[in-house]
């Protein structure tokens, strides 16, 4: 993982950061708070069922809409709404059209949870 850029005492503009990349399902780190990363990700379509053994994961919709599928229900999120997936809970993020999501999660969180496959990516700083 790339080293963190100097962001102390500097505001972060989410629209400017989102304009720096186009890849979907490949989060970019834009900040850190204590032991957590603040990430931006562009999503469309279905991701995959996965879970995180020890990390909770916050999904905040910056633009568009996101559905978080759980095994027993679906959580529909619109712009400005967020949902925290507790650790150990299997989930699948889905977006029918491109959505921009802010994630807050521990630095150790892998995007595919406990699985290691072709969708596993190492996030980079922007």
Q: How many angstroms separate the Cα of 41 from the Cα of each of 30, 72, 76, 111?
A: 10, 25, 17, 11
What's the predicted TM-score (pTM) here?
0.89
Give me the residues paired with residue 68 across strands.
75, 93
- Domain hosting 102: range is 24-125
Query: How many other C-beta atoms are found inside a 10 Å radius of the C-beta of residue 3?
Result: 6
What integer best gives the mean pLDDT of the chain?
91
CATH number for position 69:
2.60.120.10
pLDDT, tens only, 91-116: 999 999 999 999 999 898 877 777 77
In a domain, 72, yes or no: yes
In a domain, 90, yes or no: yes
Q: Which residue has the higher pLDDT, 62 or 111?
A: 62
Q: Note the residue count of the chain.
A: 126
Structural tokens at position 124: 């980079």
Residue 125: predicted pLDDT: 93
Q: How many domains does the chain have?
A: 1
In a domain, 4, yes or no: no
């Amino acid at each position: 993982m790339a080293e963190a850029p100097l962001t102390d005492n500097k505001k972060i503009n989410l629209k400017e950061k989102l304009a720096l990349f186009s890849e979907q399902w490949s989060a970019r780190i834009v900040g850190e708070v204590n032991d957590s990363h603040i990430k931006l990700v562009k999503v469309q379509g279905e991701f995959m069922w996965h879970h995180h053994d020890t990390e909770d994961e916050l999904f905040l919709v910056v633009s568009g809409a996101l559905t978080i599928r759980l095994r027993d229900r679906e959580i529909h999120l619109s712009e400005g709404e967020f949902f925290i997936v507790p650790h150990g809970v299997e989930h699948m993020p889905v977006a029918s059209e491109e959505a921009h999501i802010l994630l807050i999660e521990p630095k150790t969180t892998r995007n595919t949870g406990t699985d290691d496959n072709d969708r596993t990516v190492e996030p980079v700083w922007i």
